[in-house]
Amino acid sequence: QVRLVESGGGLVEAGGSLRLSCAVSGNIVNAMGWYRQAPGKQRELVASISRGTSTDYSDSVKGRFTISRDNAKSTMYLQMNSLKPEDTGVYYCNACPQVSSIYISNFCFALGSWGQGTQVTVSS
Percent of the chain with pLDDT over 70: 98
Q: Give the containing element (helix H, strand E) for 21.
A: strand 18-24
Residue 27 banded pLDDT, cuts 50, 70, 90: low
Per-residue pLDDT tens over the stretch 62-110? 999 999 999 889 999 999 999 999 999 999 999 998 888 889 999 999 9
112 and 97 in contact (C-beta within 8 Å)? yes
